[in-house]
Structure formats: structure tokens, C-alpha cells
Amino acid sequence: MSNHQELLIRTPDDFSFPENLEYLSRSADECMFHIQDSRVTRAIEVDGKPVLFVMEENPDGILVTLTGEGDEVKAGVEQFVRDWLDLGRDLMPFYELGERDPLLREAVRRHRGLRVVGIPDLFETFVWAILGQQITVAFAYVLKRRFVETFGQAIEADGVIHYLFPSAEKVAGLDPEALRELKITGRKSEYIIGIARLIAAGELTKEGLLALGDDRTVEHRLTAIRGIGPWTANYVLMRCLRSPDAYPAADVGLHNALKLVAGLDRKPTLPEVEAFAEPWKGWRAYATFYLWRYLSSESEQG
DNA sequence: GTCCAGGACTCGC
DNA sequence: GCGAGTCATGGA
């Protein structure tokens, strides 16, 4: 196979491939990549063309094998993986904070090396966040899979079908009824198509949002869009725009995690949720992500 | 049957 | 500006 290339991405000391793999493995309904034998296979688009790559742990970092020729493709895949796993971030300040903080300590110790796994594509992040509003994560995965399998581009390799996330352009032209058939609620269908149209029209871009600067400005811009409330805006800031401090304070999973680590006999109130996070300022997205992870690892043990 | 899930909108006051 | 009702599906 002459069109394969290898790429070794060196990872920082505070990166754990198994911890991130564990997070990526959390749903059998995940459709944007496949995991087998500790190897992750995924299709992405680089310069408008589909590229398939496999990543696996290596003594020196992450070994990536990709299909496609040329340095541009290789660079595109490397950039994607770096963004996906937030490899450019130094977590030492967060770990020092975690050691001092009784609410975070156990989560940080247990899952050290975990990154806020990102969703590099803006449209995908919005769709995933909107689908996840008010329903269980498990059901959100089912809805995402239906959506991707129905509207995404399929790429077959070695008997396995991989998907590119549906483009905003394609979804912009859909009727809400087409999403309703997948059991996505009518309102969410409208939200998703509305966002797709803004993105397809170039009125909403990742670069444009990043250029706004601080989180509060982005949140204000996003919550002006129908279907985007404070939770979704902060979720997008965390997973796509890479703010380490975004804080989805209304998140039910966060509330349950805080109830657990703070030893409460009820869920915390919103003021309490804000107060708990006061010492985490600068790292609230990381704190949230670790608490989510901690909560799911606790509930797995029954 | 009831309640809850990684919320947001709409309406009435 | 704030509280209650509504959306809609699926699992416990």
C-alpha cells in the first residue's frame, strides 16, 4: 500500500493514552470512530478530501497511520489529533490545583493524563450539544448515530464503514420532518437546521468565535441564537473552542458529580455549583470534564 | 405509572 | 425578571 504514511506525535508527560482511550470507548453507539484492540480508526476531511487514519499508543507518543499522500494531508491529520486530544496544553497548573482541592483530588488522581477530548468541527459540536440537551447521554448517542448514518458520507475500509459528519450545507437544506423521523424532537430539529444555515451561510465560524476573545463575549454571541442557552454555549466553548475555563453550570451530570464528591444528600443549587467552582477559575472546563469522568467511573462499579 | 436524563423556549404575571 | 408549563424519548 503505497499511499500509507506514518506519523509519530510526541505526547507530554501528563498525557495518558489509556485514560483517553477509556473515555473514547464510553459508548458502543459512537459512530465517528471505531475502537478495536486499543487502536482508534477514524475518517476526517483534510482540504476537502476524506482521509482515514489509525492511532495507537507508542513508547514515544501516539503512532498514527494514515491513508493519503503528501505532507499537507499528514500535517492536517497531525493538527486534527493534536486538537482532538488537546495535546498542546500544559496540565501541571490544573494538577497542582487538583491536589489542593478536596472535591477534585480523587478525580484528578484517578484519571491523570485525561484530556478534555475535543470536537474539532464546530457544526458537529453544536449538533452533539443540542442532541444532548435534557436526555441521557446514551440516548443522545443513538440519535447522533441515526443522524450521521442518514446524512453523513460513508467511507468503507477493510469491511468497516466510517462516516464523515454531515455537512452544515447538507443539513441546511433539510426539512425538520426529516430529523423528526429519527426521533429527534421537533424543536431540536429546528435548532439544528437553524445552526446549519448560519454555518453554511458563513455567518457562524469557529475562527469568528475564537476572534471574539473572552468566554463571556462568545457566550453572549451564542446564546443569541435560537436553541443555544448558557449550557450549550459553554459546552461549545469547552469541547470545540477549547476554553479551559468554560463552565456548563446547569449540567445535570456536573450536579450529580458534585453531590457525590461533596457528600451532599441532594443535588447542589445553582449558587452552590458556582461557589464550588470558585477555586477552579481558569480550569473549570477541565474540572467539569474530570468530574464527569469520575462520576461515570464510580457508577460503573455499581 | 412515575421520575429523570450532559436544557431551552414560551407564556403569564 | 422569574416561575411554571412544554417539549419528546427511553431507561430505571
Please enumerate in sequence order all residues whose Cβ is within 8 A of that of A139, keeping only pairs 6 or more positions apart, or say none: none
Question: For A4-88, which CATH superfamily applies?
Answer: DNA-3-methyladenine glycosylase AlkA, N-terminal domain (3.30.310.20)
Which SS3 state, helix, strand or coil, does residue A22 take? helix
The region, left, alpha or beta by phi > 0 then psi within -120 to 50, assigned to residue A144 is: alpha
Between CA A277 and CA A280 the distance in angstroms is 5
Q: What average pLDDT does range A126-139 have in this prediction?
A: 97
A50 in contact with nucleic chain B (CB within 7 A) = no
Residue spans of the domains in chain A: they are: 4-88
In this prediction, residue A302 carries a pLDDT of 40
Question: CB neighbours of A256 closer than 8 A, spacing ≥ 6?
Answer: A267, A295
Q: What's the DSSP call for residue A225? A: S
The mean pLDDT value for A237-241 works out to 98
Kindly report the bases of strand C lying within 7 A of a protein C-beta atom: 7-11
HEC readout, A120-166: CCHHHHHHHHHHHCCCCHHHHHHHHHHHHHHHCEEEEECCEEEEECC
pLDDT average, residue stretch A203-220: 97
Q: What is the mean pLDDT of chain A?
A: 96
Residue A153 has pLDDT above 50, yes or no: yes
A1 forms beta bridges with: none
pLDDT band at A3 (very low <50, low <70, confident <90, very high): confident
pLDDT band at A2 (very low <50, low <70, confident <90, very high): low
Amino acid A32: pLDDT: 98
Between CA A232 and CA A248 the distance in angstroms is 7
Other CB atoms closer than 10 Å to residue A199's CB: what's the count?
A: 21
Instruction: Work out if A187's Cβ lies within 7 angstroms of strand B.
Output: yes
Of chain A, the percentage scoring pLDDT greater than 70 comes to: 99
Would residue A245 show up in a list of annotated catalytic residues for this protein? no
A267: nearest nucleotide, CA–C1' criterion: B4
CA of A263, C1' of B3: distance in angstroms = 23
**Active-site residue (options: A121, A215, A245, A251):** A251
Burial of A250: CB neighbours in 10 Å, binned 0-12, 13-18, 19+: middle
Calculate the angstrom distance between C1' of C10 and CA of A256: 20
CA distance A86 to A151: 28
The whole-number average pLDDT for the span A296-301 is 82
User: How confident is the model at residue A301, as a pLDDT?
Assistant: 57
Nucleotide closest to A251 measured between CA and C1'? B6
